[in-house]
Amino acid sequence: MNNKAYVTTPIYYVNDVPHIGHAYTTIIADTMARYYRLKGRETYFLTGTDEHGQKIEEAAKSRNRNPQEYADEISGKFKALWDDFDISYDKFIRTTDADHKLGVQKAFKTMFDKGDIYKGDYEGHYCVSCETFFTETQLIDGDGCPDCGKPTNLVKEESYFFKLSSYQEQLLKWYHDDEQCVLPKGKKNEVISFVKQGLRDLSITRTSFDWGVKLPEEMGDPKHVMYVWLDALLNYVTALGYGKDEENMDFWPATMHLVGKDILRFHAIYWPAFLMSLGLPLPTHIAAHGWWTRNGEKMSKSKGNVVNPKEVADAYGLENFRYFMLREVPFGQDGDFSQKALIDRINSDLGNEFGNLLNRIIGMSGKYSQSAVTSKDVKALHVKELSDVEEILDGVEKKLNELQTNRYLEDLWKVLTIANGAITAHEPWVKIKNGDTDGALAVVGLVANILARVTVLVSPVMPKTSSKIAAALGFEINTESYTKLIQNRELLNDFVIEKIPPLFPRIEEEAIETPEPSTKPEVKKKKETKTKEESIITIDQFFETSLKIGTILEAEEVPKSDRLLKLKVDVGEENPRQVIAGIKEYYAPADLINTQVCIVANLKPAKIMGMLSQGMLLAAKDKDGLALMRPETPKKSGSSVG
Ligand code: MSP
């Protein structure tokens, strides 16, 4: 096996801030990079941002921003989040980097010189949101994008084409010969049947906007910019120095391109065809994951159901969140995000099963042997348990190598069950009572060794937590301990166990306010969407809402929240109400005391970050900020509004 490993995430569009889907791709890639390093492979891990194209140009324009400035800002947010999440990337590439642009031009010229690029006229439909060309027959209801449902534009312009059609047979041969080139299998089959339907040549330049990489100067065609997907895919080699010094090209081909299922076609068809044209080797694995949804619905800004990964990690712990994401859904399938499922995983898998095992041996060794743990009798007295553990561990890494992260973790937890079962079956406390100290200590030693092996293998998923457990068990997680404990199946050296505080404190209730998903089915076509203004209600329906004047008596910031203030509001009742309001960015708590507001008083009370909120303040928001709705002159608290 090649001792070098190269792992990539997709490069993220800068038209939007990072969300849970981006975090998912990045966390899986980070896990794989850490796993390869653990095995001693020299690893290069790339992430970055995709900054050109019509979508970004339009996003910047709609905000009255220059595209470069706008890209700088959003790209910075991605980088900051990955740094905050301790993502172990080696390079963060931006497609606006000068070196990248040079590499893209070099690749274009190489493919052109080879005869794989020709000039023609393009006529077809283009979805700006997906940055994808479609033929008329692919559209929904005449103009809808088959991928995202948004209306497409008819594009008619001069364009350079890449001879994708001439790579059809070579691609099919690759899928056939290299079983693992596209993962998981089901997704690979979809790619194969798409290619078998016939590939058309691909339009790879645009002339109707200019936010992109220009053609190489020697082509003498300055009005063309590269198609954003050609530009973007090439990042995987320009990051290694392609077209410049080739400094890190010895990491090529990529071991693992991690992508979402929506962009598999670009990676499993266009990208290998470009590579064939460039004469470069093909990636070892292109692995496509599914989507995170909420209540089965796609997340979108307009539905207000997007989950902010930073908020989740802050509220529940980054590594718990990583474990949840990798354990909860089979790789390749969609998964539904819910705080309840996350809490269950933390309390049950992590707290009751993983953490508790450590607590149990801390307790037992404390009582039996002043915290000293030995492996001396483990092999002799626990042959069966050790062989059961080894049987599972024999097949477990294959699962991770195939990205079956949920099955990988599931198997590691089966190993933990063997340890728990051993405690129950061998009752070390009875052994101690009967004077069999060696027997009791062998059970503790067995459990410590099982825990150590699981900890090493779980470390790519939960690096910091695993290091803490390893330290308590007297070793460090690194390639050496991986080789010793996992590959050579050696046992731990004797050590004195360190008492550490519980790693997975129990969580009793949901800790963050996540937007409630809409219950309506997703509305695909723009024309069917009703705005609030269009949906008429009766006066009776309006009066079902109780609006009252309230006077703010107390206001304080909610710790760990960027948005929330906790208010006590007098609405003319015996006790003031507690209202949790998302206005922290706009009002200082002190400025709110004794001011009046308008409150929705008959809203079902809700828990926000674990705090009861008994009402909602009315406010208006536009691009300049937010303003609370207040009576023009002071009114008695509790006066009704309407
Ligand atoms: N810029 C392109 C990728 C170019 S790679 C040469 C792009 N960017 S993206 O920002 O739109 O998406 C990046 C990744 O986020 C994709 O892998 C996509 O699948 C993933 N996700 C976006 N929303 C998602 C979910 N709701 N759930 C899981 N992942 C999803 O595409």
pLDDT digits (tens, 9 = 90+) for 302-348: 777 889 999 999 999 999 999 999 999 999 999 999 999 999 999 99
Asked whether the predicted pLDDT for residue 526 surpasses 50, the reply is: no
Tell me the best of 9, 11, 12 to mutate to test the pocket of ligand 1, counting ligand atoms within 8 Å of each CB and taking the most: 12
331 phi and psi angles, rounded to 5 deg: -60, 130
Q: What is the dihedral of CA 293, 298, 304, 306, to 10 degrees?
A: 40
Report the alpha-carbon distance of residue 9 to residue 45 in Å, rounded: 8
> How do residues 501-524 score in pLDDT, each as one tens digit?
989 999 988 888 755 544 433 333
Asked whether the predicted pLDDT for residue 534 surpasses 60, the reply is: no
Closest ligand 1 atom to residue 261 Cα is: 19
Tell me the best of 15, 20, 22, 92 to mutate to test the pocket of ligand 1, counting ligand atoms within 8 Å of each CB and taking the most: 22
Contact call for residues 75 and 9 (beta carbons, < 8 A): no
Query: Ligand 1: does its nearest atom lie under 6 Å from the Cβ of 229?
Result: no
Report the alpha-carbon distance of residue 159 to residue 161 in Å, rounded: 6
Asked whether the predicted pLDDT for residue 148 surpasses 90, the reply is: no
Among residues 513, 503, 497, 89, which one has the least CA distance to residue 323?
503
Report the alpha-carbon distance of residue 350 to residue 354 in Å, rounded: 5
Query: Ligand 1: does its nearest atom lie under 6 Å from the Cβ of 239?
Result: no
Closest ligand 1 atom to residue 50 Cα is: 1
Query: Ligand 1: does its nearest atom lie under 6 Å from the Cβ of 267?
Result: no
Residues 6+ apart with CB under 8 A from 97: none
Cα of 203 vs centre of ligand 1, distance in Å, is: 22
Contact call for residues 428 and 443 (beta carbons, < 8 A): yes
Residues 6+ apart with CB under 8 A from 19: 299, 306, 307, 308, 309
Asked whether the predicted pLDDT for residue 21 surpasses 90, the reply is: yes
DSSP 286-324: EEEE--EEETTEEP-TTTT----HHHHHHHH-HHHHHHH
Q: Work out the average pLDDT over 20-47.
A: 98
Cα of 22 vs centre of ligand 1, distance in Å, is: 6
Query: Ligand 1: does its nearest atom lie under 6 Å from the Cβ of 10?
Result: yes
Query: Ligand 1: does its nearest atom lie under 6 Å from the Cβ of 25?
Result: yes
- State the pLDDT confidence band at 54, using cuts at 50, 70 and 90: very high
pLDDT at 49: 98
Nearest CA, atom 18, ligand 1: 260
Cα of 10 vs centre of ligand 1, distance in Å, is: 7
pLDDT at 565: 92
Three-state secondary-structure class, residue 381: helix
Structure tokens at 395: 């097949």
Query: Ligand 1: does its nearest atom lie under 6 Å from the Cβ of 11?
Result: yes
- State the pLDDT confidence band at 606, using cuts at 50, 70 and 90: confident
Q: CB count, 10 Å around CB of 122?
A: 20
Query: Ligand 1: does its nearest atom lie under 6 Å from the Cβ of 16?
Result: no
Among residues 266, 172, 275, 193, which one has the least CA distance to residue 228?
266
pLDDT at 537: 66
Nearest CA, atom 8, ligand 1: 12
Query: Ligand 1: does its nearest atom lie under 6 Å from the Cβ of 53?
Result: no
pTM > 0.85: yes or no: no
Query: Ligand 1: does its nearest atom lie under 6 Å from the Cβ of 94?
Result: no
Which one has a higher pLDDT value, 162 or 573? 162
Report the alpha-carbon distance of residue 3 to residue 642 in Å, rounded: 72
Query: Ligand 1: does its nearest atom lie under 6 Å from the Cβ of 306?
Result: no
Query: Ligand 1: does its nearest atom lie under 6 Å from the Cβ of 263?
Result: yes
pLDDT at 266: 97
**CA count, 13 A, side-chain hemisphere, 598:** 16
Report the alpha-carbon distance of residue 104 to residue 213 in Å, rounded: 8
